[in-house]
Amino acid sequence: MTKIAPTKTSRASRIHLSQLMQPEHANHHGNVHGGWIMKLADEAGALACMRHAQTRVVTVAVDSLVFREPIKIGDLVTLTAEVTYTGRTSMEAEVQVVAENPITGERTHTNAAYLVYVALDDDNNPTNVPQLVAETEEEKARLEEAKKRQQRRISQK
């Protein structure tokens, strides 16, 4: 089994996924289904958390998913995800979604999401994850906001 480092940065977990939106992803108005974007956001968040924990993860919560602008058929959608919080076995990933018209180059920030995952060992039991360390003032502020979100999630149980 791979030894897990005691701390990691959010930068180390950052991933980018890109996909061209096709007609099968959209409704009859040409807008991409929200569920399709949710699927992609979950994949991006999970990959960032797997990169951080170096193990399999399962989704335990979609803390928030905000749709700001529609995504159209023909847009190149890029999702950027990174770990923003770690507990003992859980991690929060922030996912940002940008749609780009590949012809004009116009880019629109369309979605943001926070998802929570739990790391699993080979027996499908929760396992410890490296703790997140903030390097910059911006990362420290994001970590504090993520801690507040986690406290809110815990208080709602």
What does the DSSP 8-state code read for residue 135? Answer: -
Identity of residue 23: P
Instruction: Give the closest residue to 123 by CA, choosing from 35, 37, 56, 24.
Output: 56
Query: Hunting for tokens 């504090």 — which residue is that?
Result: 144
| 3 pLDDT more than 60 | no
| 120 pLDDT more than 90 | yes
Query: Hunting for tokens 């995504």 — which residue is that?
Result: 71
% pLDDT > 70, the chain: 97
| 85 pLDDT more than 70 | yes
For the record, the structure tokens of 63 come out as 């803390």
Three-point CA angle 68, 113, 5, nearest 5°: 155
What is the architecture, at CATH level 2, of domain 7-155? Roll (3.10)
- Cα→Cα distances 119→29, 86, 131, Å: 39, 10, 12
Mean pLDDT of 44-68: 95
Written as one string, the DSSP assignment of 117-137 is: EEEE-TTS-B---PEE---SH
Listed in sequence order, the residues at least 6 apart from 51 whose beta carbon sits closer than 8 Å to its beta carbon are: 12, 13, 15
Which of the two residues, 79 and 153, has the higher pLDDT score?
79
Q: Name the helix (H) or strand (E) containing 24.
A: none
Instruction: Give the closest residue to 118 by CA, choosing from 153, 67, 76, 80.
Output: 153
User: pTM value?
Assistant: 0.91
CB 97 within 8 A of CB 114: no
